[in-house]
Chains A and B, each alone.
Chain A
Amino acid sequence: QLVESGGGLVQPGRSLRLSCVAAGFTFDDYAMHWVREAPGKGLEWVSGISWNSGSTGYADSVKGRFTISRDNTKNSLYLQMDSLRLEDMALYYCAKDRGTTVTTSWGFDFWGQGTVVTVSS
């Protein structure tokens, strides 16, 4: 089970931190990811992190503005989103990888229900 939180209404240029708490599997055995779905658009991979935080990856659209992290002692995944833009408005999903690192991914086998981020002035 993956449960996201932290979404909400934020002004352009401001920050927001998303969280995802995992249960039902050995969290620190797997890579984790954030994926978003903007209104009326398709799925977009945002960022991923390896099992031990040793490697991360970011979509070009968020690189330099978003930071992914995890705390394996709390079975938790985070996404720090800075300098938010209108185009960041979306439903953000937390997803579990079948593999251990971003570069050896086998795709995602569990997804949360998502948390909504609204960017508006």
Chain B
Amino acid sequence: IQLTQSPSFLSASVGDRVTITCRASQDIRFYLAWYQKKPGKPPKPLIYAASTLQSGVPSRFSGSGSGTEFTLTISSLQPEDFATYYCQQVNSDHLTFGPGTKVDIK
């Protein structure tokens, strides 16, 4: 199962609403997770089962979608949110990550 993410790069300002899309090559129902990755740090889990917020993650992060199209939304971008975001499908025994979306400061 292949995942694509769009955009691959986005430039945004603090306070902006940001939406990242992840598309799967086949139906993965709701078996999708999102991670935040910063340089020199391990990935931080954000969302699982497409829309369930990981404990401790701020409520400005939300996930939606099912089947083949999913979105990660940050309702009001904060300085600590500038990072690369990855989706991951967990619907098969060959788990795969998307190519990532880098969120940079405008």
Name A's B-contacting residues (CB within 8 A). Answer: 33, 35, 42-45, 48, 55, 57, 59-60, 93, 98, 102-103, 105-109, 111-114
Say which residue of B45, B94, B100 sits within 8 Å of A43 (CB atoms): B100
Q: Is the interface of B mostly helix, strand, loop or mixed?
A: loop
> Which B residues are in CB contact (< 8 Å) with A35?
43, 97
A108 → B minimal CB distance (Å):
6
Is the pair A57, B86 in contact by a Cβ cutoff of 8 Å? no
Distance in angstroms between the alpha carbons of A35 and B98 in the assembled complex: 13
A-B contact sample (19 more), CB < 8 A, given A107-B45, A109-B45: A35-B43, A42-B84, A42-B99, A43-B35, A43-B37, A43-B97, A43-B100, A45-B95, A45-B97, A93-B43, A102-B95, A103-B92, A106-B31, A107-B49, A107-B90, A108-B33, A108-B43, A108-B88, A109-B48
